[in-house]
Structure 1
Amino acid sequence: MKDWAGVGEAYSASYAALCAGTLPAMQRALGAPHGRSLLDVGAGDGRLAAAWADAGWRVQACEPEASMRAVAHRDRPQVDMIDAGLPDLPFPDGAVDVVVANFVLNHVDSPRRSAAELRRVSRGAVVATIWTLSPSWLWADVAERAGVAPLVGVKLPADEDFERTPDGFARMLRDAGLERPVVAERRWTWNADPNRLWRSVEGGVADAGALYTALASDERRRFRAAFEAVADERGVDGFLPLEHRAAVAVNLLP
């Protein structure tokens, strides 16, 4: 799956704001904290863990990538962040009231095993999200304009993969032992700062960053020019409005 090593700073400056777009839907699904505990798995730069804590939850967070944890420790020292990640979490069964994994199950090698692990450590709800329309469509357009071959991501084996739709996500979660996942699709527009978005590319974040890193110098110049052309064409008041969709799953105890 994707290599996130060393991208913490670039991710925090760019896509972390996009990934926070699911927070309102997750908060509505879970309601008021009422003193409950919450574990944020794959917490990245700690942005959402801090938001959950500010809303009144008793929060723990875990993240396996050192550069992400470094950003979290620096910018959000109030977040209790440890070095851990799926598919094996260092928590006992039923350790917390709620487990949240925001855009994590779409990046692991074994989604069903990982989802089962989320279920194991929660004595209450499990909330998880995946992309149904990710930023990859933008970078495919940029690559085509630049005349470079788009990066073909590594696919999971057929017995591990699942359909990236709300229904497909729900089926995968049921396969993993989550009893009654309710999945809804959230749509929103992210008004991206083009300069920050380009920083994600130069910082090696996600498929676009991996593609750019592998390009020759002339290809990089064409890719940058193509991105600037797209930003000029689509930009509104200095921002790049980009439509995104995510499946938000909530599984409550029966």
Structure 2
Amino acid sequence: MTTFDEYERELWAGRAAAYDRGFARLTAYTAPLLCEAARAGAGTRLLDVGTGPGVVAREAVRRGAEVSAVDAEPGMAETAARNVPGLDVRVAVLPDLPFGDGTFDAVTGNFVINHVGDPDAALRELRRVLRPGGRLALTCWEMPGSGALGIVREAIDEVGVAWPDDIPVSPFMEYGERAAFADLVRGAGFGDADVDPVTWRHVVDPEDWWETGAMSRVGSNGVILSRQDPATVARVRTAYDAIMTRYAVDGGKVSLPAHALLAHGTR
């Protein structure tokens, strides 16, 4: 396990409920797209990795797939089990999956590949559990994060809070653009590999986004803010509120742009 993997285990411990209330509503947009790319349908044996609260797993079940799911965080696995009754969900940390070679017809992963310490090893493990001809479908954020993903970071930077030396940067950072992500997937042995850009708008109450995306310690931005004194947090909040005015819509809400990449390929 890499230093980044160890950090991720600490980062996400106990964060399942907060993630389910906030970021999961943002990432739910890509669940149908992943299932379409994986060709999930009646009888498809599908594995959803990094299932989180089970958003993609639930969509695949709705389409008739026979779904198994894994997550590295026990709380996430428990949340997925509650959200998707009867789901076969287990705790497992990539690149080590508790399944035999060629077990699945399809593998999906919604914004998980950017949370592993060795993306290439993770992809090769996903290929191992796919049958020949099986489909892979993965999403990641475009790097560096912008729009919905980057607003809290932008506010932190505006105030001048430095990135702490003990918080590692994701090894996936260099792959967060279309060509590099495609090359990574092809390099792991997937055929017909391609990457499609995905954009959408996330309409949310800015107070809710602050509470679930900043103050609930979800993600590294939340960790950084949790280390600041009240005066610094207040300054970041002022900067955040100013940034949010750019995205204001009716009803006191904001419409935040989201930018992601969807990779797909064949075993």
TM-score where L is the length of structure 2: 0.85
Match of 2:34 among 4, 26, 33: 26
Task: Name the CA shift for 1:68/1:164 in 2 (closer, same or farther; >3 Å).
Answer: same
Whether the 8 Å contact between 2:247 and 2:254 is mirrored in structure 1 is: yes
Task: Name the CA shift for 1:26/1:73 in 2 (closer, same or farther; >3 Å).
Answer: closer
Report the Cα distance in structure 2 between the residues aligned to 1:32 and 1:220, rounded to whole angstroms. 44
Q: Which moved more, 1:68-77 or 1:202-211?
A: 68-77
Q: Which moved more, 1:160-169 or 1:7-16?
A: 160-169
Task: Name the CA shift for 1:30/1:185 in 2 (closer, same or farther; >3 Å).
Answer: same
Whether the 8 Å contact between 1:25 and 1:186 is mirrored in structure 2 is: no
Report the Cα distance in structure 2 between the residues aligned to 1:240 and 1:149, rounded to whole angstroms. 27
By how many angstroms is 1:243 displaced? 1.2
Identity %, equivalent residues: 33
By how many angstroms is 1:166 displaced? 1.3
Match of 2:179 among 163, 167, 187: 167
Structure 2 match to 1:50: 58
Matched, 1:243 2:253: no
Residues 74-126 of structure 1: CA deviation (Å, up to 9, x unaligned): 33333221111211101000111101111111110000000000111011111
Partner SS state of residue 195, structure 2: strand
Structure 1 match to 2:225: 212
Matched, 1:76 2:88: no
Partner SS state of residue 106, structure 1: helix
One-letter code of the match for 1:247? L
Counterparts of residues 1-254 of structure 1 (less than 5 Å)? 1=4, 2=8, 3-31=11-39, 33-123=41-131, 124-132=134-142, 134=145, 135-149=148-162, 154-155=168-169, 162-200=174-212, 201-237=214-250, 238-253=252-267
Report the Cα distance in structure 2 between the residues aligned to 1:32 and 1:155, rounded to whole angstroms. 33
Partner SS state of residue 56, structure 1: coil
One-letter code of the match for 1:51? E
By how many angstroms is 1:249 displaced? 1.0
Whether the 8 Å contact between 1:234 and 1:240 is mirrored in structure 2 is: yes
Task: Name the CA shift for 1:100/1:31 in 2 (closer, same or farther; >3 Å).
Answer: closer
Partner SS state of residue 259, structure 2: strand
One-letter code of the match for 1:174? R
Q: Which moved more, 1:21-30 or 1:209-218?
A: 21-30
More helix by share: 2
Residues 160-202 of structure 1: CA deviation (Å, up to 9, x unaligned): 8643111100111122222331211111111123233122222
Whether the 8 Å contact between 1:187 and 1:243 is mirrored in structure 2 is: yes
Report the Cα distance in structure 2 between the residues aligned to 1:120 and 1:203, rounded to whole angstroms. 36
By how many angstroms is 1:41 displaced? 0.4
Partner SS state of residue 23, structure 1: helix
Runs of 4 or more consecutive aligned structure 1 residues displaced over 4 Å after TM superposition: 150-153
By how many angstroms is 1:136 displaced? 4.2
Whether the 8 Å contact between 2:204 and 2:255 is mirrored in structure 1 is: yes
Task: Name the CA shift for 1:190/1:161 in 2 (closer, same or farther; >3 Å).
Answer: closer
Report the Cα distance in structure 2 between the residues aligned to 1:39 and 1:242, rounded to whole angstroms. 30
Task: Name the CA shift for 1:185/1:151 in 2 (closer, same or farther; >3 Å).
Answer: farther
Partner SS state of residue 48, structure 2: strand
Number of equivalenced pairs? 251
In structure 1, stretches of 5+ residues that fail to align are none
